[in-house]
Amino acid sequence: MVAFDEMRPDGSGVRKPYAGYEQWLLKQDPARLTEKMGDAERVFRKTGITFAVYGHEDASEKLIPFDIVPRILSGQEWRRLTQGIEQRVVALNAFLDDIYHRQEILKAGRIPKHLIAGNEAFLPEMIGVRPPAGVYTHIIGVDIVRTGENEFYVLEDNARTPSGVSYMLENRETMMQLFPELFQHVKVRPVENYPQLLRQSLANVKPDGCKGTPTIAVLTPGIFNSAYFEHAFLADQMGVELVEGSDLRVVDGHIAMRTTQGYKPIDVLYRRVDDAFLDPMTFRPDSALGVPGIMDVYRAGKITIANAPGTGIADDKAIYSYMPEIIEFYTGRKAILGNIPTWRCSEPDSLKYVQEHIAELVIKEVHGSGGYGMLVGPTASKKEREAFAAKLAAKPGNYIAQPTLALSTCPILVEGGLAPRHVDLRPYVLVSDKIQIVPGGLTRVALKEGSLVVNSSQGGGTKDTWVLDD
């Protein structure tokens, strides 16, 4: 498979979005660029931009590799993407509201009932509960891949607790520090106002009974969580409190946080704790990360939890395969951004096909994330494929499979100059009384030649994403 190169598709002429960058690049001393790569690493190390890799004793805290060659999208490309993303986000919220209330999509037979009823991401505790302002997914990360000039596909919808936005912001800040003259030469749309937009968006979905300016806090599982840097970063950038479950309790029917002046009520909680750990009185009784009684306060409409409990059903990978139907059912229109063809291994015919073509496919756990629990057939060894085939046969309903796409490439800086590497893109969407999409997002890049796995936990890196102001 020949991948579409976003800078030089035919290996010679540069595409229009990269023209201004190319003019600048040709005037640069290669040694200076290599030096700047080292500077970038020092900036990230000094700032403390790290993430944890679970299961790696030798690397509890790792630096995400950063590449200084930006990924560039034209304003026109971005407009098409945002139209498709907005349509998708509207459909996801309508789907969640329907699934926890009238379940019209199930009655219409557009989605099999067993996919909902037997799904661990579906929370019966949310049936009949409507969140403040009717918003379920306040922050969404939509993973997008590209296979050609005008071919964009959604790889997955991250509707639970999407991470990585802090890297988007730090990537831009680092690039502006390293190459201030470049931003004079190329007009790039800003992303640095994301924390302010996030705070405003969260304030706009405050509970009905909240008068005046709402009190907002970020709930983190604590310093040992892999994304703790981001939790602390966002709380700091928004100017709100960072809290752990032990800092919160129910006081007079509200959730309150411990302060030096006693307990102060919270109106909006941006939680980065999974559903199962949110309330030990409702979900896992052994959880020390959540707040006992928070679900009762939530059901009473006294607090906004972003994202709402139970949103995981919307980014389940088996549900993902029905997104074209979901979009059409709730919006009345065909999906602007396509899905990747998906085989649901719970279905006997699909399972048979996947088992026979395991060497050609990418197979994923329906609840998996971060690149864990997946098999990339073409690059896996025979032994790895055989081991995975056994897992697939034992629990077929746990897996979906997709074709191996020729993901587009963008150049990265290597010793010999620029070299193409596969990329994906995670734009960040804020939902309140309106939908806002920051112009850019997080571009993740597979740093190993030929690799299709872009996840940082699997050795991938990131780069700044530019949307041109045209």
358-395 per-position pLDDT tens digit: 999 999 888 766 556 788 888 888 999 999 999 999 99
Q: Residue 62 above 80 pLDDT? A: no
Residue with more model confidence, 63 or 117: 117
How many of the other CB atoms lie within 10 Å of CB of 463?
Answer: 25
pLDDT at 380: 87
Task: For residue 10, name the pLDDT band (cuts at 50, 70, 90).
Answer: confident
pLDDT at 59: 47
Q: Among residues of the chain, what percentage have pLDDT more than 90?
A: 79
Residue with more model confidence, 118 or 254: 254
**CATH at residue 382:** 3.30.1490.270
Domain contains 301: no
Residue 147 parent element (H or E) = strand 139-148
Q: Which residue has the tokens 């928004």?
A: 238
Q: Which residue has the tokens 């896996």?
A: 380
- Is 361 found in the same domain as 455? no
pLDDT at 352: 93
How far apart are alpha carbons 443 and 458 in whole angstroms?
15
- Is 385 found in the same domain as 417? no
pLDDT at 17: 97
Tell me what the pLDDT averaged over the chain comes to.
92
- Is 416 found in the same domain as 434? yes
pLDDT at 50: 60
Best-predicted range by mean pLDDT (37-46, 116-125, 129-138, 372-381):
129-138
**Amino acid at residue number 376:** V
Domain contains 107: yes
- Is 417 found in the same domain as 399? no
End-to-end CA distance of the chain: 33
pLDDT at 141: 96
- Alpha-carbon torsion 44, 50, 56, 57, what sign? positive
Q: What is the pTM of this model?
A: 0.92
Select from 371, 403, 435 the last residue of a domain: 403
pLDDT tens readout for residues 247-260: 999 999 999 999 99
Local structure of residue 17 (DSSP, 8 states): G
Q: Are 305 and 313 in contact (CB under 8 A)?
A: no
Domain contains 273: no
* Domain range enclosing 360: 343-403
Range of lowest pLDDT (57-71, 90-104, 173-187, 347-361) = 57-71
Domain contains 337: no
- Is 45 found in the same domain as 69? yes
**Cα atoms found within 13 Å of the Cα of residue 427, Cβ hemisphere only:** 27
Domain contains 35: yes
Domain contains 212: no
Q: Are 291 and 279 in contact (CB under 8 A)?
A: yes
- Is 380 found in the same domain as 463? no
Task: For residue 324, name the pLDDT band (cuts at 50, 70, 90).
Answer: very high
- Is 160 found in the same domain as 88? yes
Per-residue buried b or exposed e for 442-462, using 16+ beta carbons within 10 Å of the residue's own CB: bbbbbbeeebbbbebbbbbbb
Q: Residue 166 above 50 pLDDT? A: yes
Instruction: Specify which residues 362 forms β-bridges with.
Output: 376, 402
Select from 358, 376, 403 the last residue of a domain: 403
Range of lowest pLDDT (26-40, 43-57, 266-280) = 43-57
pLDDT tens readout for residues 214-257: 999 999 999 988 889 899 999 999 999 999 999 999 999 999 99
How far apart are alpha carbons 45 and 209 in whole angstroms?
44
- Is 84 found in the same domain as 30? yes
Domain contains 429: yes
pLDDT at 370: 54
- Is 442 found in the same domain as 399? no
Q: What share of the chain is helix, strand, coil (3-state, %, to 5)?
A: 35, 25, 40
Secondary structure (3-state) at 79: helix
pLDDT tens readout for residues 431-444: 999 999 999 999 99
Q: Among residues of the chain, what percentage have pLDDT more than 70?
A: 95
- Number of structural domains in the chain: 2
Q: Residue 55 above 60 pLDDT? A: no
Domain contains 285: no
Select from 364, 384, 403 the last residue of a domain: 403
Backbone angles phi, psi at 135, to 5 degrees: -100, 130
- Is 79 found in the same domain as 165? yes
How far apart are alpha carbons 50 and 48 in whole angstroms?
6
